[in-house]
Structure 1
Amino acid sequence: MNVFQNIKKQTFYTALFLCLGVVTASQACDLCGCTTSSGSSSFGDLSTSNFVGVRYIHQDFESRDGIFSNSPKSEETFHTYQLWGRVPLSKNIYVSAIVPFQDLYRHFDDRTEHIHGLGDINIMGWYQLNFYKKQKRDSLVFANRELSGHGLNFGLGMKLPTGEFEEQLTDRVNPGFQVGTGSWDMVATVLYSYKKKNLGVGASLAYYLKTENENDYKFGNQFSSAANVFYDVNLKTTTLRPFLGVSGDVYESIEQYGETLADTNGHIIYGSLGAEVSKNKFILGLKYTLPIAQDLFGGDVNSQQQYSLYLNYSL
């Protein structure tokens, strides 16, 4: 009976976090410069391990300046190259950082715009809360307790204004075409993970509180969520970890000089698939993402395919 109850509880918690990943992302709210986040909704690999590594993120967008089929449009391509990592400071306290370099292109019918440079650096502090299995009545009080497989990570951090912000670029349909936001922003997040044998799930919720930059320009606050399901396939000295995921972002409106700018809010939901390959201490990951539903900048901006590739070394 107890075993059955435990299975029911585990199924409920898993379903709850997966639903959070879908429902919270799909709520109709508002938008900021979504493209300047540098993939910030992902804070590490599937196993939330300690690591140092490099990551490449590719994003495609289409922006249309008008409601007609012949309205001027631009095709935008964003290349982001990152140094990232997570290192322990003590048994339960960790620090992570993402240092991005942005290489952004905007293609018109008659010309191409190109900006590049150091993006906004993210620094996060983490507290990891582990859960243990209940001890048997006849076990020793001081015996080593066995982990239950559930884990929670609480994070709090800052996004630094290390990337250049160009005010003249905000007059375009997609003001997210920026190397940086020019603002000091706060990030609060919680990560949940559960693994039993070869099957694992992970979910994250994050909120970005954004401030005005020196140009009196404020990107809207952002709520992000994500959930993944993965399965370990053991191949002698190598582990293959395919996964499926869903994620989403909700953006509040942009403000300038204290005024709210019209049609600068929105929301988007993504579906993704990918895999990680682990050998010794190296993890190679590939993720491909497509939008499921979106409403960005009053429908004038459409997110298209995204993919990322990363190589981590476990500490």
Structure 2
Amino acid sequence: MTNVLQNFRYTKILFFFSLFFLSHTAFGCDLCGCATSGGSFGQGTLNNTSFIGTRYIFQKFVSKDGIFDNSPTSTERFNTYQLWGRIPVSKKLYVSVVLPYQDLKRKFTDRNENINGLGDITLISWLKIPFYKKENTEYTQIGKQPSGHSIEIGLGSKLPTGNFEQVLSNRVNPGFQLGTGSLDGILSLTYTYAADKFGINTNTSYYIKGENKNEYRFGNQFSFAGNFFYAIPKKQYSIIPFIGISGNIYDKIKQFNEVIANTDGAVYNTTVGSEVLFKTFIFGANYTLPLQHNLFGGNVTPKQSIALYLNFNLNN
């Protein structure tokens, strides 16, 4: 009973620390955390297992070019197709890779725009630090016992493999790009707690944006996500529904070292979804809806987002 109470207190401390960290950190982005980030909707599965797989992300935005209610608008639909994976290098070291293909469509009143091609490839190395139960005579014969808590520290970069077009940056939504055209750094921190059926997964990432050949620099980006999940075991598979919160906060864009007005903002979302775990693969789906937002002076409105993924488990 003493150990149970200690673990419960430990869980509460880490849980509230995670919420505090999530709610007190600010970030900026190349816009909407969407097209130019290759659809950075998390770095992996709920329990951060090793995998290779595919993921599809759909995002919708409405942009208004003007300050009046009847100002002209455009509807943007971002389709991102990814090959992604989380590959183990050693017991505590992993490398995650995301290779995105972008298909971006924009509909104006009098015309349509469409760009497609390779997006920015993301590479992150992860150091996993697991925590163990406090040793006592019960565990000395069988070694250290995992507590279910772990943190992961990620360090990586987003490569300028996606094409950047200067003419597109002059639109209301400059995030309508295949890539940033710059080499960007990524710092990430993940905390996971997994009990027999219940779990918590949180992730925070900070993107340090570089300057591209057009002397254009998207604002630095901070993104966060927290998911609460519950496992429902079946005979040959498990269903894991989850609900979560996420957010993006954007710094202002600069060009020629000059700040571009009304290019910062923030969006906060809620997400519901589920993963279905089989022995050799994982299928996941989630739906994201913005709760509050203020992007580009209120001229860009994020709508719903949908993500589907199929991952093959490398832990077997």
In the alignment, which residue of structure 2 is the partner of 1:32? 30
**Which consecutive unaligned segments of at least 5 residues does structure 1 have?**
none
1:239-297, Cα deviation, whole Å (9 max, x unpaired): 00000000001110000000000000011101000000111211000010000100100
1:53-101 Cα offsets, whole Å, 9 max, x none, are 0000000000001111110110000000000001111111111100000
CA distance in 2: counterparts of 1:75 and 1:6, whole angstroms: 49
Amino acid at match of 2:7: N
Counterparts of 2:104 and 2:138 in 1: how far apart (Å)? 63
Provide the C-alpha distance between the structure 2 equivalents of 1:180 and 1:18, rounded to a whole number of angstroms: 31
Structure with greater contact order relative to length (CA < 8 Å, sep ≥ 6) = 1
Contact 1:31 1:296 in 2 (8 A): no
- After superposition, the Cα gap between the structure-2 partners of 1:138 and 1:288, relative to the gap in structure 1 and judged at 3 Å, is closer
- The separation in 2 between residues aligned to 1:266 and 1:182, in whole angstroms, is 21
Runs of 4+ in 1 over 6 A off after TM superposition: none
Measured on the aligned residues, the alpha-carbon RMSD in Å equals 1.5
| Counterpart residue number, 2:252 | 253
Q: Aligned to 2:124, what secondary structure does the other structure show?
A: strand
Look up the match of 1:51.
Answer: 51
User: Which letter maps to 1:17?
Assistant: S
* Secondary structure of the structure 2 residue equivalent to 1:113: strand
Q: 1: CA distance between counterparts of 2:104 and 2:139?
A: 60
Deviations 1:95-134 (A, max 9, x none): 1100000000000111110000000000011111011111
Q: Which residue of 2 aligns with 1:108?
A: 108
Call closer, same or farther: CA 1:48–1:31 in 2, change over 3 Å: closer
Seen in structure 2, the aligned counterparts of structure 1 residues 300 and 154 have a Cα distance that, compared at 3 Å, is same
Once the two structures are TM-superposed, the CA of residue 31 in structure 1 deviates from its matched residue by: 4.8
* Alpha-carbon separation, structure 1, partners of 2:30 and 2:156: 19
> Offset at 1:136?
0.9
1:130 aligns with 130
Q: Among all aligned residue pairs of Structure 1 and Structure 2, give the percentage whose two residues are the same amino acid.
A: 46
Count residues in correspondence: 311
AA in 2 matched with 1:7: F
Following TM superposition, by how much is the alpha carbon of 1:9 offset from its aligned partner in structure 2, in angstroms?
2.9
TM-score under structure 1 normalisation? 0.95
Contact 2:38 2:121 in 1 (8 A): no
* Secondary structure of residue in 2 paired with 1:134: coil
Structure 1 letter corresponding to 2:15: T
Q: Tell me, in whole angstroms, the C-alpha distance in 2 between the residues paired with 1:10 and 1:309.
A: 30
Mapped contact 2:139–2:145 kept (Cα < 8 A): no
Task: Say whether the 8 Å CA contact 1:284–1:312 is kept in structure 2.
Answer: yes
Cα contact 1:95–1:126 (8 A) shared by 2: yes
Structure 2, unmatched stretches of 5+, are none
Which whole-Å CA distance do the structure 1 matches of 2:302 and 2:31 have between them?
12
Give the C-alpha shift of residue 197 in structure 1.
Answer: 1.3
1:180 aligned partner = 179
Cα distance in 1 between the residues matched to 2:272 and 2:220 = 27
TM-score, normalising length: structure 2: 0.95
Tell me, yes or no, if the aligned pair for 1:119 and 1:163 is still in contact at 8 Å: yes
Q: Helix, strand or coil for the counterpart of 1:182?
A: coil
Query: What corresponds to 2:159 in structure 1?
Result: 160
